Structure 1
Amino acid sequence: MPLHYTQRDSTLINQDLAPTTPAQRTWSTYNYIALWFAMSMEVSTYMLASSLIAGGMNWKQALGTILLGNLIVLIPMLLNAHAGAKYGIPFPVFVRASFGLRGANLPALLRAFVACGWFGIQSWIGGQAIAAMVHILWPATSHMPSVLWACFLGFWLLNMVVVWLGVESIRFLQSYSAPFMLVMSFALLIWMLRKAGGFGPMLSAPSHFHSTASFLHFFFPSLTAMVGYWATLSLNIPDFTRYAKSQDSQIVGQAFGLPVAMTLYCFIGIAVTSASTVIFGAPIWNPIDLLGRFHQPFVAFLAMIALLVATLNVNIGANVVSPSNDFSNVAPHLISYRTGGLITGFLGLAMMPWKLMATFGNYIFGWLVGYSGLLGPVAGIMVADYFFIRRTRLDLHSLYHHGGPYDYMHGINPRAIAALVGGVLIALIGLIVPSLRWLYDYAWFVGFATAAVVYIALMYKVIPEAEPAQPALKGAESIKGMEGEEI
């Protein structure tokens, strides 16, 4: 039975926000495995692992921290993914259930602005890779800063072209690039293995922590950073699972793809960085800088191409799909997916990614931990609302129409806003109160738990009446407007 909307409701829907139809449900288990391998096998993941070595961990400590962090973030990832697969709705529509039809813009924009920062970071990394290739071909350009900026802007423009081609281009890129990236990553590992003289010397770099206390002081904020790395996608994962052929497809694909891909690729980053300590006398956490140390132009050039493919994949898949939908949700009748993607690109430039990536400290303890304190509370509210308050039952019709249970007070749920503000304040207060710095070190965990508990407490006496489950797989083949046109 198609859903109909009035002129007033048209502010809540466009073609990109509407529930997916059965014909659009084309993503299989392989697609979700490929999604995670493609998004994990890129430079910022490598740098995530290598920064732990640069910070003083040995390879076992670093790998254990990464595995634990990804197993933790997999939990909210799968919980929030459920609604996307069941109802065919994207993140900004899903979050209307807890924050309200208008209030949903707040968490959606928080998520979008973080994605813009990531878009800028990935574009900067891609630009560095292109500049490194140019330096290999024309060594005289190595002292020309303008070359780096030209490469950065050129790669940014390439991303904008892919955005214009639409979401199916993402599935095409990821399906074919994931196997390619796996091969290239192992090639880099083998290359460094030979240079270091085997796994023994390669992994011989010791831990720089000489006491349990000093290790834990670095470990806990690092674990928060590992969780924070995918805190963004743990919110907007419905943007991808809405295309799942079945609930099992996305659950199995993600449960296998995320921890396996991240652990495998992070091991490569850890091993190669450890080897750089043996070969060059100091850990080199940026792979682009590392490749520049070698004098084999063909090898370096091929490796840079692999970095470009990986960076393009993750930038479009993780940092454009969600903010495009989020910006579209603010004004569906004015902002399409493509327009939202262009907005993402320009904001990514404005956030000066070259400063965010200046050092591993800026990257781990400033960027990753900092924004996890903003997004952890949103995840806590979403999980609490969908599983504890609504028992996974949503009124699909009311998510796109005014006057229903999700209108709350003029479209805003003040209880969700209060829980969000409380969670963010508790998570980030350590930035201004030194004695509470430990709260910031656990920012995602503190924010998630605080917001979830506060939200459940505030909503306990206003639990909505049972809402009829309306799975998009069967009940939302189309949404028709006033003129009867399908969108």
Structure 2
Amino acid sequence: MAINEDNLGRVELESTKTIETSKLFNDDLAPVPFKGRTWHTYNYAALWMSIAHGIPTYYLASGLIGMGMSWVQAVGIIGLGNLIVMIPLLLNSHAGAKYGIPFPIFARSAFGVLGSNIPAITRALSACGWFGIQTWVGGQAIHTLSGAFLGGWWTEAGTVGGHPWTLWLSFAIFWAIQMALVLRGIESIRKLENIAAPLILVVAGILLWWVVSLAGGLGEAAMAPSQLGWGPEFWKIFPGALMGMIAFYATMSVNISDFTRFAKSQKAQVVGQAVGLTPTVVIFTTMGALTTSATVEVWGRSIWDPIELVGMIPNPLVVLFSLICVIVATVAVNVAANTVGPAYDFSNAFPRLISFKTGGIITGVIAILMQPWNLMANSSLYIFVWLGITGAFLGSVAGILIAEYWLIRRTKLDMEDLYRRGGAYEYRRGYNWRAITAMGVALLLSVGGAYSAAGTDGPFPAEGLIPMLKPLFDLNWAVAFLSGLLVHWLLTRIFPPRSSVVERAEAAAVGPEQL
């Protein structure tokens, strides 16, 4: 197999002819050639600015404040969570930028050419849930926008399933808009990200200015004390809140190679992501936190939903502008973060039957079936149950991938064998039992003690599913990530695959002509 390697740290196959007939190959999963790797630093910064400026990010800070935290506590937890999640994010970015491969193909190196469907489908289902949540938010924006001009008959229409039928219609319209964009392909998504990146930030600024003006200034909001203080009550919910903040971007830390496969260089994706993620999230959530704190001064209660707040603005033109920004930016966030990944994941399961576009449609359908309106029922359910559980699943996968790529294979992959049976990643009938076992152990430790917080309706018993593991659930993402990484590394060291596997991968990555 002939391989090209350039001075930007990128590798590509000279030809894909030898793997094009494989049942594990299709054009959407193929490695991106050098000429197709066109994303620069700004593209990655814009990607993260757009994702970070999403309404669910606003919910993070406002939701924590709704639980009694001060804005300083809320923003501090969010900033710390983002700094932590940058570690697996950048480590798992490297393979995409070096080899031009998407996440499900990258996962084949650790889980096997067939076993990769386990983490891929896990990640895809998580993204489907997120896609549904964002689509519900976008539907609310359309509903509020329409109500500002159509009047009470629209907003007070008869209910179906606990919500006005006009809200369900708005949800369906927003869903259809996104599906149309998915059908236009990945390049249209990149262009939309470049335009949409600052829009939600503008809306957040409008809300902050308006609510603070009503409150008579920023002083009271900025100085509002924590209802929890800095004592036991705060530290009791701190671990779960921090894990929720990490879990918020856990999906992208796993499948980030879906985007870095288009990187012009390693530097472009590293700098772009470092600049675009944490600083943007901290600034944006600070605005959301201060706004939510100020709502307590104005209305006597914390209003953590920005869509509700926008609808309360008395100027219809401001409402129109703000909600159009929300709609455009939410489309950009949702399509980029929650359809690109699962589209590739579903395609990986059936490469000859499901294309990227078909995978995107499947994502949209499953998102509806996951009933996002229930996931958004309250902030505790959103942060501690949804984010906690999905974070644990994805944390285990992130740890296993890092162990395989950095500690075991030392960034050297056999690209051709990633697309065929019987090669370096065949393991046992296409499955690597070491990675699957590590994932199982990680999930048992991190989720086995799942419990419902006091005073919160939830699916778990208050004493925990497995009481002795209850303390670990508060650290679910960290437990899953570290145990997945360590167990996979130890099992591979104790029960190594055929010795020729790693040697062949190293030889293929270098190229036989260079040995």
Question: Normalization by structure 2: what TM-score?
Answer: 0.89
Aligned pairs for 1:33-432 (under 5 A) are 33-140=45-152, 141-144=154-157, 145-210=164-229, 212-431=231-450, 432=465
Identify the match of residue 27 of structure 1 among 39, 42, 62. Answer: 39
Which string of whole-angstrom CA distances, capped at 9 and with x for unpartnered residues, describes residues 252-300 of structure 1? 0111111011111111111111111111111111111222333222222
Structure 2 distance, partners of 1:366, 1:100, is 30
Paired residues, what number? 473
Secondary structure of 1:346's match?
helix
Secondary structure of 2:410's match?
coil
Structure 1 distance, partners of 2:130, 2:66, is 22
Q: Please report how far the alpha carbon of residue 40 of structure 1 lies from its aligned counterpart in structure 2 after TM superposition.
A: 0.7
Q: Which amino acid letter does the alignment assign opposite residue 156 of structure 2? A: H
**1:252 to 1:143, Cα distance in 2 relative to 1, 3 A:** same
**1:49 to 1:369, Cα distance in 2 relative to 1, 3 A:** same
Structure 1 distance, partners of 2:414, 2:325, is 45
Q: Please report how far the alpha carbon of residue 244 of structure 1 lies from its aligned counterpart in structure 2 after TM superposition.
A: 0.4
Q: Which amino acid letter does the alignment assign opposite residue 336 of structure 1? A: S
Q: Which amino acid letter does the alignment assign opposite residue 506 of structure 2? A: P
Question: Does residue 468 of the first structure (1) align with residue 501 of the second (2)?
Answer: no
Question: Does residue 3 of the first structure (1) align with residue 22 of the second (2)?
Answer: no
Q: Please report how far the alpha carbon of residue 434 of structure 1 lies from its aligned counterpart in structure 2 after TM superposition.
A: 3.6
Secondary structure of 1:334's match?
coil
Contact 2:400 2:435 in 1 (8 A): yes
Contact 2:145 2:311 in 1 (8 A): no
Structure 2 distance, partners of 1:180, 1:59, is 23
Counterpart position of 2:462: none
Structure 1 distance, partners of 2:299, 2:468, is 39
Structure 2 distance, partners of 1:302, 1:457, is 55
Structure 2 distance, partners of 1:36, 1:66, is 15
Secondary structure of 1:23's match?
helix
User: Which range moved further: 67-76 or 452-461?
Assistant: 452-461
Structure 2 distance, partners of 1:69, 1:12, is 36
Q: Please report how far the alpha carbon of residue 470 of structure 1 lies from its aligned counterpart in structure 2 after TM superposition.
A: 6.3
User: Which range moved further: 156-165 or 294-303?
Assistant: 294-303
Which string of whole-angstrom CA distances, capped at 9 and with x for unpartnered residues, describes residues 426-471 of structure 1? 1111120244322111111011111111111110141643323767
Structure 1 distance, partners of 2:230, 2:214, is 32
Structure 2 unmatched ranges of 5 or more: 1-13, 158-163, 451-464
Secondary structure of 2:502's match?
coil
Contact 2:445 2:469 in 1 (8 A): no
Q: Which amino acid letter does the alignment assign opposite residue 479 of structure 2? A: V
Q: Please report how far the alpha carbon of residue 20 of structure 1 lies from its aligned counterpart in structure 2 after TM superposition.
A: 0.4
Contact 2:85 2:246 in 1 (8 A): yes
Structure 1 unmatched ranges of 5 or more: 476-487
Secondary structure of 1:68's match?
helix
Structure 2 distance, partners of 1:67, 1:391, is 30
Structure 2 distance, partners of 1:79, 1:206, is 38
Q: Which amino acid letter does the alignment assign opposite residue 440 of structure 1? A: F
Q: Please report how far the alpha carbon of residue 10 of structure 1 lies from its aligned counterpart in structure 2 after TM superposition.
A: 2.2
Q: Please report how far the alpha carbon of residue 6 of structure 1 lies from its aligned counterpart in structure 2 after TM superposition.
A: 5.6
Contact 1:110 1:374 in 2 (8 A): yes
Q: Which amino acid letter does the alignment assign opposite residue 41 of structure 1? A: H
Which structure has more RCO (C-alpha within 8 Å, separation ≥ 6)?
1
Q: Please report how far the alpha carbon of residue 211 of structure 1 lies from its aligned counterpart in structure 2 after TM superposition.
A: 5.1
Contact 2:199 2:329 in 1 (8 A): no
Structure 2 distance, partners of 1:59, 1:469, is 53
Structure 2 distance, partners of 1:361, 1:409, is 42
Structure 2 distance, partners of 1:415, 1:315, is 34
Q: CA RMSD in A?
A: 1.7
Question: Normalization by structure 1: what TM-score?
Answer: 0.94
Secondary structure of 2:197's match?
helix
User: Which range moved further: 180-189 or 77-86?
Assistant: 180-189
